[in-house]
Amino acid sequence: MLECFEDTGEFWLPDAPTNKVGGTLSSSPGSRPTLTLSGSFRTLKEELDQVAEVGPSPSLRIILGRTGKARDVTLYKCRDAGGTVDLEYGGSTKKQMEVFAVFKGVHFETEEEMQFREVTVQLSHLDEWANLFSLDSDHSKYDSATRTHTIAYRIPQPINTVLDDQWKITLGLEVHGPRFSRLQTNISVETKTCLTLTSPKPCPFRTCREKLGIFSTFISLATQQPVYPLHLRGKVYCPDCDKDRNLSSDSVEIIYYVPDLVRPSKELFPPHDMLFVLGDIRDNLAFHVNSWQAAANALRAVLDLYFAQLNQAHMYIKHRFLSLIQAVEGYHRRRLNTAELPQGDHENRIQEILSSVPRQHEQWLKWKLKYSNEPSLHKRLSDLCCMYDAIMKRISKSKSWIQTAVDIRNDLSHQKEDSKSFSIDEVLTVSERLKLLMDLCLLAEAGFSSADIERLTERYWRRNPPLLAIDAKRMML
């Protein structure tokens, strides 16, 4: 996903294989793959009619192609991104298509054929998080008599586990090298940690992508870094392969659009700077992944807010605060939802109140009382802080910051003329406390006990101490 490529060839639609158009397929990190055609799949009249129409550009679900490097390719969800129609020189047309996904090495003529048995992905920071590769110190030695230096390394057995929904997870190493040549100044061994997800039955690409997204956010929570697919390949399900259509069960390289992609640093990220690593959960990997999978399905909107501020390092401070405060509020509503009264009692109370007001004000008051049974933001924050009281007290002995968080949210949301103006360091300090509170909640969602959470945060703070108010003021200087 982070590799740029450009390939030329000829392309056609599945239902019109004889109408081939030359073009160039290219891709760069953070943008959609693009197909630039030297012609069009439509007639000149259809192109002119489209120019005269007002509305969204038409899309094509599938375009097939054959290129010089990738050979057979399938382009999925292609959107017309414009082009030119030259009427003066023979009515020529040039088109540009934006592509959601590219499958290299296979032709899919229909969406129903896009069924995969397994997908294998390399994720950013997965190498450091898993930390599977190590040198064999017992067998690495130097013989001074023969001046021979032996360096041995051990390739560990893959880690296999089966989830509750019968998906199989495999974590293993791909080892390349060393390579030898006549003139050589260095010898290197390249290792890549790969995650393979095997489905109990053939499933569409969308399902595989959702599964990868769940595991990516799990690693992102652990590393506290943006995590994206670096390289993805899949094995196609083919019950009765037709060689004439080039549909095989061999590995297919997959490139798809990842919005807001951040290019990770080439430097290795130290495992001791992470919230937790594979070694912390290796014996209970299935339990933690199952727990996180359930949380990801139930808290999709909450996780979107949380990881948005984590993935965008240059987000404005106030925008980051709003993302975090909404994530905390949404999490409390989904998981605790401590209403003042049971729903039935609350409805009876509302009816009693409405029956005592003039009829012309009844509808107005009904709308005003619509959310009257929900706890205030102050109570939501207090409830969550009480769940992790010992940890939260270490960064703030007083809970006065909760009222500050409420006031900042009201100030940013309602923009009243008489609202208090908060300094940037105040917003930053409160944001960090909200972030820590969400970290604790999400660790619990990932299956960690209270004792485990306290141990992990204690270890994490040794390298990444929590930001206090005095630190925030120094950062603003």
pLDDT digits (tens, 9 = 90+) for 138-185: 778 888 888 888 888 888 899 999 999 999 999 999 888 787 888 888
Structure tokens that stand for 319 in this block:
């925008």
Q: Whose structure tokens read 């060839």?
A: 9
Please tell me the predicted confidence (pLDDT) of residue 203: 92
Half-sphere exposure (CA, 13 Å, Cβ side) for 449?
Answer: 5
Q: How far apart are CA 5 and CA 2, in angstroms?
A: 10
Please tell me the predicted confidence (pLDDT) of residue 469: 52
Nearest 5°: the CA angle 254, 258, 262 is: 120
In this structure, are strands 5-13 and 16-27 parallel, antiparallel, or unpaired?
A: antiparallel
The pLDDT tens digits for 51-88 are 555 445 556 899 999 998 878 999 999 988 876 655 55
Q: How far apart are CA 47 and CA 61, in angstroms?
A: 18
Please tell me the predicted confidence (pLDDT) of residue 243: 47
The pLDDT tens digits for 416-462 are 776 677 888 889 889 999 999 999 999 999 999 999 999 999 999 88
Please tell me the predicted confidence (pLDDT) of residue 246: 45
Q: Is the pLDDT of residue 120 over 90?
A: yes
Q: What is the DSSP letter of 456?
A: H
Q: What is the mean pLDDT of residues 453-475?
A: 75
Per the CB < 8 A criterion, the answer to whether 101 and 254 are in contact is yes
Peptide bond into 178 cis (omega under 30): yes
- Which region among 58-67, 90-99, 139-148, 366-375 has the lowest average model confidence (pLDDT)? 90-99
pLDDT band (50, 70, 90) for residue 247: very low
Q: Is the pLDDT of residue 367 over 50?
A: yes
Give DSSP secondary structure letters for 330-346. Answer: HHHHHHT---SS-HHHH
Average pLDDT, the chain: 85
pLDDT band (50, 70, 90) for residue 471: low
Mapping DSSP to helix (H, G, I), strand (E, B) and coil, where does residue 195 land? Answer: strand
The pLDDT tens digits for 395-423 are 888 888 999 999 999 888 887 776 677 88
Percent of the chain with pLDDT over 90: 49
User: In this structure, what are the phi and psi dihedrals at residue 144, rounded to the nearest 5 degrees?
Assistant: -70, -30
Q: How far apart are CA 414 and CA 81, in angstroms?
A: 39
Structure tokens that stand for 476 in this block:
């603003």
Q: What is the mean pLDDT of residues 280-294?
A: 96
Per the CB < 8 A criterion, the answer to whether 427 and 320 are in contact is no
